[in-house]
Chain A
Amino acid sequence: MQETIKRKPKRKGKKIPFAYYMMVVPIGILFFIFHTIPFLRGVFYSFTDWSGYGTWKFVGLKNYLYMFGNSNITHAYWFTFKFALFATILVNAIALAIAVGLNGKIKYQNFLKAIYFLPYMLGSLIVGFVFKFIFGNMLPSLGRALHWGFMSSNILGTTHAWVGILIMTIWQGLAFNTLIYLAGLQSVDPEIYEAAALDGVNPWQKFMRLTFPLIAPFFTINLVLSVKGYLMVFDQIMAMTNGGPGNSTTSISVEIYTQGFQGSQFAVQSANAVVLFIVVLTISLIQLRVLNKREERLG
C-alpha cells in the first residue's frame, strides 16, 4: 500500500509483486485446510469424548490418562519402541557393511548397487505378503524336511512374530540406507586414505578414525529417517500378522488404525496420535542435536 507512493527504483525496499503471492498463498491455504486443520482437530478431539459421530463434551486429560492405563496401548508403545530400536541398529549396521563392500575394489559395482537398491522400489505391503509366505509355508516345510525343530513352525504365529517382521523390514530397509552410506563413502577423497596408509594404521582404525567421521552427516540422515520411519511401522504388519498373534505385534500406527476406525476409541486414539507426534518430534530433534554436535566435534 505505502509502496505506491514511493516509486523510486530502489532495489532493497522493492515491493514483491502480487503474482508471487499468488504462487504460494492458494496452495498454502489448501495445505492449511487439509493438513493443519486435521492436525488441530485431532488435538482438539483428544480432549473430548467424541466417538466419531454424534454429540461430545470436554473430558480434559481423561483420554491421556486412559491411554497409560490401557494395556493394549502401552503394549503397542513397548512393541513399537523395541521394533524401531532393533530395526534402526540392524539396518544401519548391515547397510554400512554392504556399502563398505560395494565401495571396495569390486567388479560389476554398478550392477551390484542396482541389485541392492532394488527392494526400495517394491511396496512394503507386497514384500510383507511374500515374506509371510516364506515364514508361514516355505521355511516350516523346509524345517520339517530337515528335522530342524526351531524352523518347523511359523514364526509369525509365535511370540517371536516380531522377529519375522524385523527380518522383512531389514531386507527392505537396507536398500535406501546402503545407497546413502555408499554416497557418503564415495564422497571421501581417496588421498586422505593414502596419507593415512603412510602412518601405518590398520583397516579397522582407518574406518573408525577416518572414514566414519567423514561420513557422519550421512549417518545422521540415515538414523533420523530410520527411527522416524520405523516408529510409524504399518504396512508390513498389516500384511504379515495383522497385529497378532493376540496383539503382540500391534504397533502404534496399527493400534490407531484398528481402534480409531473399527473400534469405538476415536477420541482415545486421537490422544494416542498426539502422543505419537510428540514422541516422533522429540526423538527427531534430540537426534539432530546430538548427532550434529558430534559431527562438529569429529569434523
Chain B
Amino acid sequence: MQANADLNNNTPAPRKSKKRKKKVNWTLTSVMMVLAIFAILGPLYITIVIALKDPSQMSNVLSLPKQIHWENFKNAWQMTNFPKMFLNTLFITVVNVIFTIFTNSMAAYVITRYRLKNKFFNMMYYYFISAMFIPFNVIMLPLVKEVSAFHMDNIIGITFLYIVFGLPQNIFLYSGFVKEIPTALEEAAEMDGAKPMQIFFKVIFPLMKPMHATVAILSFMWTWNDFLMPLVLLSNPDQQTLQLAQYVFQGQFSTQYNLAFASYVLVLLPVLIMYVFFQKYIIAGVTSGSVK
C-alpha cells in the first residue's frame, strides 16, 4: 500500500484523484457495512415493520409483514390529531428558521464588526457568549411562570422564544464567519452613500449564505425534535407539537404498538425524506457549525 501511495506521489494529479486510485480495503468496508445495517438501520427497520403489521403478526417482530396494514397510519393520524400537530410544528420550525436567520445574523454582524471599536458591543458579545453556559433546564421553572403571565403559552409564544433563545449559539456561529469577511466591501458601499441597513442586507447578508445554511439546519433540527420546551410551555391540546403529542398519547396507545409505531413513523418521515434529499448539505452544515 505504501508503494502504491509513493507511486501516486509522482503523478501531478490533485489529491482527490489520488484517493480514488487507492486500493479498497474490502474487509473494513464489509465490517462498516454490516455494522451500519444491523446497528443503525436495525432499529429503524423494526420501527417500520411494526408500523405496518397488526397485533396478530407480532409474534415474530422481525419478520416482514405478511399483509400490510396501512390503516395503522390512518388511525394514528386521527388519534394524535396529526394534521393539527404537524401544522403547529411546521409553523414553529419555518417561522423560527426565517426570523432567526434575519435577526440573529444582523445582531451577530454588528456585534462582531464593532466589538473591537466599541465597549458596548464588546460587552454584548461577552453577554451572549456567557449565556451559552446557561442550559434551558436551569431557567425553565421561572420561565414557565413568566410565560404564562405574558400569555405566551402557545405556538406563537414558543416560536418567539426559540428565536430569542437561539441567539447565544448563533451569534457564536455567525461571529466566526463575519470575522473572515473583508471590510473593503462595506467601506466601498459606505463611500457610495449606502445606509447601514442597506450595507447589511445588500452586501453582507448574501455573503453569509454558508453560515445561514448551517444556522437554518441546526435551528430546524432543534425545533422539530425538541421535547422539553413544548412539554413545559404548551399545555392546551390544540397548541401542541408532534413530539409532545407522542408523549401525551403514550397512555392511549398503551399496548397498541402498531398504532404507536405508525405514529412514530409519521413523525420521523418528514425528517427522513428531508435527509435523503439534503443529506450532503445537512452533514456539511452540522460539521461547519461545530468545527471551524
Interface of A with B (CB < 8 Å)? 16-17, 19-21, 23-24, 27-28, 30-31, 34-39, 41-42, 45, 52, 98, 101-102, 104-108, 112-127, 129-131, 133-134, 137-138, 141, 171, 176, 179-180, 183-184, 190, 194, 197, 218, 221, 225, 228, 232, 234-235, 238-239, 252-253, 256-257, 260-261, 266, 269-270, 273-274, 276-277, 280-281, 284
Give bound CA distance, A102 to B40, whole Å: 15
Whether A19 contacts B133 by the Cβ 8 Å rule is no
11 further A-B pairs in the complex, CB-CB below 8 A; given A120-B221, A123-B243, A280-B133:
A17-B195, A19-B195, A41-B146, A116-B40, A118-B275, A183-B287, A234-B227, A261-B144, A261-B232, A273-B141, A277-B138
Query: Which residue of B127, B139, B228 has the most chain A CB atoms within 10 A of its CB atom?
Result: B139
Contacts of A98 in B (CB 8 A): 32, 35
Report yes or no: B32 in contact with A106, Cβ–Cβ below 8 A: yes
Contact of B137 (CB < 8 Å), options: A24, A112, A138, A232: A232
Q: How many residues of B contact A (CB 8 A)?
A: 92
Most buried by A among B5, B200, B261, B283: B283
Interface string of B217-249 (1 = CB under 8 A from A): 000010011111001100000000001001100
Residues of B within 8 A of A129 (CB): 246, 250, 260, 264
What are 22 inter-chain pairs, A to B, with CB distance below 8 A?
A16-B114, A28-B127, A31-B167, A37-B146, A115-B41, A117-B279, A122-B268, A123-B227, A125-B225, A125-B246, A133-B257, A183-B287, A194-B6, A221-B291, A232-B135, A235-B228, A252-B137, A273-B137, A273-B138, A273-B140, A281-B133, A284-B133
Residue of B1, B228, B260 with most chain A CB atoms under a 10 A cut-off: B228
Please report the C-alpha to C-alpha distance between residue A275 and residue B29 in the assembled complex, in whole angstroms: 47
The listed residue with most B CB atoms (<10 A of its CB), out of A28, A123, A194, is A123
User: How far, in angstroms, from A92 to B25 measured CA to CA in the complex?
Assistant: 24
Q: Which of B182-203 contact A (CB under 8 A)?
A: 195-197, 200
Give the most central of A16, A119, A131, A179: most B CB within 10 Å: A16
User: Majority SS of interface residues in chain A?
Assistant: helix
Give which listed residue, B161, B227, B246, B291, contacts A183 with CB less than 8 A. B291
Q: Which of A126, A130, A197 has the most CB of B within 10 A?
A: A126
Across the interface, do B267 and A123 meet the contact criterion of CB distance under 8 Å?
Answer: yes
B267 touches A126 (CB 8 A): yes
How far is the CB of B120 from the nearest CB of chain A, in Å? 8
Contact between B287 and A179 (Cβ–Cβ < 8 Å)? yes
In the bound complex, do residue A269 and residue B141 qualify as a contact, i.e. CB atoms below 8 Å apart? yes
Chain A's nearest CB lies how many Å from the CB of B158?
11
Query: What chain B residues lie within 8 Å of A45 (beta carbons)?
Result: 141-142
CA distance A42 to B9 in the complex (A): 62
A101:B31 contact, CB within 8 angstroms:
yes
